[in-house]
Amino acid sequence: MATKKAKAKSKPRTNAKPATKKSAVKKSAKKVVQFQAKKPAAKSANGSGLPRPNTKPWGQAGLALQGVKILDFTHVQSGPTCTQLLAYMGADVIKVERPGVGDITRTQLRDVKGQDSLYFTMLNGSKRSITIDSKNAKGKEILERLVKHCDVLVENFAPGALDRMGLTWDYINKTNPRMIVASVKGFGPGPYEDCKVYENVAQCTGGSASTTGFRDGPPLVTGAQIGDSGTGLHLALGIVTALYQRTHSGQGQRVTAAMQDGVLNLCRVKLRDQQRLDHGPLKEYSQFGEGVPFGDATPRAGNDSGGGQPGRILKCKGWETDPNAYIYFITQAPVWEKICDVIGEPTWKTHPDYAKPPARLPRLNEIFARIEQWTMTKTKFEAMEVLNKDDVPCGPILSMKELAEDQSLRATGTIVEVDHPERGKYLSVGNPIKLSDSPSEVKRSPLLGEHTDEILRQVLGFSDHQVKEIHDSGALDPPQKVAAE
Ligand code: COA
């Protein structure tokens, strides 16, 4: 909380110089006056050397990353997730795409004939698009201008592709020593470092698949794109951290997020369990109560909770026909007695087999079966209402349809409707991170090369004549196809 003193410091500029100071200055010797005049403006304003807090109402002083210029060489999902988030935070994201082709996702999984797909539009909002053939001589010149102009280059090409374009770290660092070069790769240094990687490969190599699914079934991938979008989020953190370090180091650096590492980071509780296995069975896993011995690796645990409070997905009214009529139910210890009352088992509150958490662990199947008898008498929303009153941690299994229609998510901007000039309205996920002084506005994704001329002229300062030369050079044309012999 702001102290009285701090509050006074953040008063509008007009109040920064108290009337008494004026008279004090008048009385001072000339030298002192000169010295005061040389003081940095921020220091004299704030007394701490820090910039003066702005006086505009919250949300009206610009966006958090305003002024940050991103040279966006990303494609598919991982990199675009990162740069879209930076764009939501206010960065100017200039997406470089191959002329005539663009990001491959523009045409993947198309729902509207001939139009940019949802795969593309939902990952590239709030960006600008410039098409440049990075292998054309003039194209390379434009890229050099962009390297000089931008703060961050973000890419997620296959290993070596950026170097093959001539954009090596040495070249970039020499051309613009302040530039941060951020990359997603499938793997870090090691036996697989040269491999191309997509989402599910990362889920499988990062520990997620081996720990997802049921014990008696095969490894499973999850619908959440923890390899692609998850690594994009990791990269975004790396970028803003490097930007912060640059404020005092004055220089750029390389930021790398490997998808395997990102998935493993998100699976760290399973690495926790791997080490716990050395000290005995994992008692919160259903298989413990079922008497099934543990092997030497963290097993798949179905819908068991990954934490210290046992939980399960339980059927609710209508489960026979509705694939999402289920609720996640956590038997959190502090509310155990209330749970006993709700499900009609008041004697479990004191019974030695059920009263304390350790006694319950070998009986989880029996306990959840009993709770499920109760949840099956309620819809997932009715159950939620009853349980919430007693602070039981639980959540309905919400379908994508339900989420798309959820008005509270619309109200917070987590789900946004965006209008697109060619394909019409579509839903997108807005910024899931809310900053009180930097509200995100989600703009539609750009058409392929929509901002090419705008960027050449306004950002890079090319004259009309130079822009014509660039057009004539072939740098903006699709690469020539070599005829098969
Ligand atoms: N002008 C000319 N060429 C361009 C270009 C442009 N504007 N933009 C891209 N290219 C070229 C690159 O130079 C490269 O060519 P090269 O291999 O001849 O040097 C090529 O297009 C793109 O290469 P690549 O990244 O290998 O694409 P891909 O479609 O074969 O592979 C991935 C896709 C995702 C598997 C791969 O990029 C990858 O492993 N990326 C890292 C991990 C990752 O992010 N995976 C998740 C994706 S969601």
Catalytically annotated residue among 92, 116, 228, 304? 228
Average pLDDT, rounded, for the chain: 90
The answer to whether the CB of 166 is under 6 A from ligand 1 is: no
Distance from CA of residue 299 to its chain's centroid? 28
pLDDT confidence of residue 12: 36
Pocket lining: 205 vs ligand 1, CB cutoff 6 Å: no
The per-residue b/e assignment along 388-416, b for 16 or more CB within 10 angstroms, e otherwise, is eeeebbbbbbeeeeeeeeeeebeeebebb
For strand 180-185 and strand 254-258, is the pairing parallel, antiparallel, or unpaired? Answer: parallel
428: confidence class by pLDDT, cuts 50, 70, 90: very high
pLDDT tens, 33-53? 344 444 444 444 567 778 888
447 lines ligand 1 (CB under 6 A): no
Is-contact 135 165, C-beta < 8 A? yes
> Tens of pLDDT along 119-153?
999 999 999 999 999 999 999 999 999 999 999 99
Q: Is the pLDDT of residue 66 over 70?
A: yes
Contact 199, 171 (CB under 8 A): no
108 CB-near residues (< 8 Å, 6+ apart): 117, 119, 120
Tell me which residue of 123, 122, 121, 145 sits closest to 132, measured CA to CA. Answer: 145
Model pLDDT for residues 171-191, shown as the tens digit of each residue: 999 999 999 999 999 999 999
Structure-token match 């749970």, residue found: 339
pLDDT per residue as tens digits for the range 4-15: 333 333 333 333
Cβ–Cβ < 8 Å for 290, 297: no
Instruction: Determine whether 228 is an active site residue.
Output: yes
pTM equals 0.89
Q: Which of 157, 195, 197 to mutate to test the pocket of ligand 1 (most atoms within 8 A of CB)?
A: 157
Q: Buried b vs exposed e over 58-86: b needs ≥16 C-beta within 10 Å?
A: eeeeebbbeebbbbbbbbbbbbbbbbbbb
Tens digits of residue pLDDT in 247-271? 999 999 999 999 999 999 999 999 9
Q: How large is the average pLDDT for residues 21-31?
A: 40
Amino acid at 429: V
Residue type (1 letter), 350: T
The string of pLDDT tens digits covering residues 144-172 is 999 999 999 999 999 999 999 999 999 99
Q: Establish whether residue 78 lines the binding site of ligand 1, counting it when its CB lies within 6 angstroms of any ligand atom.
A: yes
- Residue type at position 460: L
Averaged over 65-83, what is the pLDDT? 98
The two tokens of residue 377 are 């008498």
Contact 246, 176 (CB under 8 A): no
For residue 186 and ligand 1, the question of a CB distance below 6 A is answered with yes
Q: How many residues are present in the chain?
A: 485
Instruction: Please report, as a single letter, which amino acid is at residue 278.
Output: D
Q: How many CB atoms lie within 10 A of CB 338?
A: 16
Taking the C-alpha atoms of residue 99 and residue 130, their distance in angstroms, rounded to an integer, is 8
The closest residue, in CA terms, to atom 46 on ligand 1 is: 198
226-257 in b/e burial notation, b at 16+ Cβ within 10 A?
bbbbbbbbbbbebbbebbeebeeeeebbebeb
* Token pair recorded at residue 32: 């002192």
- Check if 103 has its Cβ closer than 6 Å to any atom of ligand 1: no
Instruction: Tokens for 97, please give them.
Output: 């795409």
Number of the ligand 1 atom closest to the C-alpha atom of 479: 2
Q: Which atom of ligand 1 is nearest to the CA of 228?
A: 48
What is the pLDDT at residue 481? 59
Q: How far apart are CA 108 and CA 461, in angstroms?
A: 35
Measure 73 CA to ligand 1 centroid, in angstroms: 9
In angstroms, rounded to a whole number, what is the distance separating the alpha carbons of residues 357 and 352? 10
Q: Which of 262, 244, 252, 219 is nearest to 77 (CA)?
A: 262
Q: Which atom of ligand 1 is nearest to the CA of 165?
A: 13
